[in-house]
Amino acid sequence: MGSLADNKNGSKRFKPAHTLISAGTLGPANRGRLLQALYDIGPSSRVDLARVTGASRATIGGIVQPLIDQGILVEGEVVPADRAGGKPATKLWFSKEAKPICAVLLMHDRVRTCLVSLEGEIYAQHHAGLAKGPTDASDAFRIVSACVEETIASAHVPVLGIGVPACIDQDTRALLVGDRWFGQGRGQRNFAVVYIGESLDAALYVDGHLYRGTAGEAGKIGHTIVQLNGQMCQCGRRGCWETIATLRWLRNEAQARGLPRPGSLNAGRLVSLAENGIKGAKKLLQEYAFNISVGLANLQQLTAPNCIILHGDVVRGGKSMLDPIEARFQELTVNLADEEITLALGDSEDVAGLRGAAGLVLCELLNFII
């Protein structure tokens, strides 16, 4: 069965649930799968890629050689033949000279652009502020365009792409895509990303695919109920996880407890206050960590990603923030004795966002499945 989708003119069209790969798309699809395998397993020989993908060495060779000719892949380290004999193998990896991706991170108060290599290295960064309050779309477009032009001009290299018009996605899902290709989600079949800051959102990678849900609404984990008859949430309901585990809660509590400069408190400053013995800071840190761990434990028990990567303001707190979160998380989860569950901190907010933007372009231009 399929479903109905909207055409641009407002009419309906039938959208099939299953589509076949045509002869015209088979080549790009196979190329994308091979490059995905390379990202997952690291520098590999043609023999390794044939084994992992289930393709013949001739098929692998037919895909790899054009990628070498285009400067996307490069031959590197030679691996000696094994004891069973055979020829030495040459490992393949992404060329440092390959065209980079231009990534754009558009925030409410600023825009940041950079180039991202196919290995995830960020360079040639530029940024500009955006006016407070409502901004005319043409003004924002002008500022973004200027930053993109400065970034490309400063590097003196052609770019692989900037993802216009297709590569736009919800911010937490973009963070997940960045982790999938360049971060701690590389090679994982299942993992989750949770953004903790002014708001609370999640993105799920399930059985090798980004889970979007109906109408792309999956991930609204901040509005799961964790306190019956709890505080009023901005969504109009009571007891949402967001009411006890975001910066709004942290700053309100800091003000009520007399901590210095509560209005600008973040996880990094809270850790610093606690480590310097400021009265009430350590207790608030422990409570904040517990509140965060409650929602993370619910996520683990429901979807069992076994790897949860934290992003947003919580990253500023570093290991001193992660350790108490992880301790309470382990107490609240039920898992098998041989089951390893990992909590990890992602990159700083802007770096993670830029890598996520680059990951979206990568999926589009190299036919990656996400």
pLDDT at res. 137: 79
49 part of a folded domain: yes
Round to whole Å and give the CA distance between 343 and 327: 10
36, two tokens: 């995905």
| pLDDT for the residue numbered 146 | 92
Q: What is the CATH number of the domain that holds 87?
A: 1.10.10.10
Confidence (pLDDT) at 43 = 92
The H-assigned helical ranges of the chain are 23-41, 46-53, 57-69, 137-155, 171-182, 247-256, 267-275, 281-303, 318-332, 349-365
Q: What is the DSSP letter of 343?
A: E
Range of the structural domain that residue 15 is part of: 2-94
DSSP state of 310: E
Residue 203, domain member (yes or no): yes
Note the pLDDT of residue 20: 52
Mark whether 195 and 335 lie in a shared domain: yes
Same domain, 105 and 82: no
CB 15 within 8 A of CB 351: no
- From the list 311, 309, 312, the residue with the least C-alpha distance to 342 is 309
Low-confidence ranges of the chain (pLDDT < 50): 1-4, 8, 14, 16-18, 165-166
The backbone torsions φ and ψ at residue 110, rounded to the nearest 5 degrees and listed phi first, read -160, 165
Is 354 contained in some domain?
A: no
Q: How confident is the model at residue 150, as a pLDDT?
A: 92
CATH for 286: 3.30.420.40
Same domain membership, residue 296 and residue 155: no
Asked if residue 365 belongs to a domain, the reply is: no
Each residue of 224-247: pLDDT tens digit? Answer: 999 988 999 999 999 999 999 999
Q: Both 201 and 342 in a single domain?
A: yes
What pLDDT, on the 0 to 100 scale, is given for residue 287?
98
218 and 155 both lie in a single domain: no
Query: Of 235, 237, 236, 200, which Cα lies nearest the Cα of 219?
Result: 200
201 located within any domain: yes
Question: Pick from 169, 202, 222: which residue ends a domain?
Answer: 169
Q: In this structure, are residues 250 and 284 in contact, taking their beta carbons and an 8 Å threshold?
A: yes
Tally of CB atoms within 10 A around 13: 9
Which pLDDT does position 18 carry in this prediction? 47
**Does 9 fall in a domain?**
yes
Q: Report the alpha-carbon distance of residue 158 to residue 78 in Å, rounded.
A: 30
In total, the chain counts a number of residues equal to 370
Q: Evaluate whether residue 304 is within a structural domain.
A: yes
* Spatial CA neighbour of 254 closest among 284, 288, 287, 216: 284
- Please report the pLDDT score of residue 25 as a whole number: 67
Same domain (yes/no): 216, 342 = yes
What is the count of structural domains for the chain? 3
Taking the C-alpha atoms of residue 74 and residue 94, their distance in angstroms, rounded to an integer, is 6
Same domain for 189 and 333, yes or no, is yes
Verify that 77 and 226 share a domain, yes or no.
Answer: no
Q: Which residue, of 122, 139, 169, is where some domain finishes?
A: 169
Domain end, chosen from 71, 94, 117, is at 94
The answer on 110 and 9 residing in a single domain is: no
Q: Are residues 80 and 107 in the same domain?
A: no
363 within domain boundaries: no
The two tokens of residue 315 are: 């990253």
Which pLDDT score is estimated for 311?
96
Same structural domain for residues 88 and 105?
Answer: no
Cβ-contact 163, 169 below 8 angstroms: no
In angstroms, the CA 221 to CA 297 distance is 12
Same domain? For 338 and 201 the reply is yes
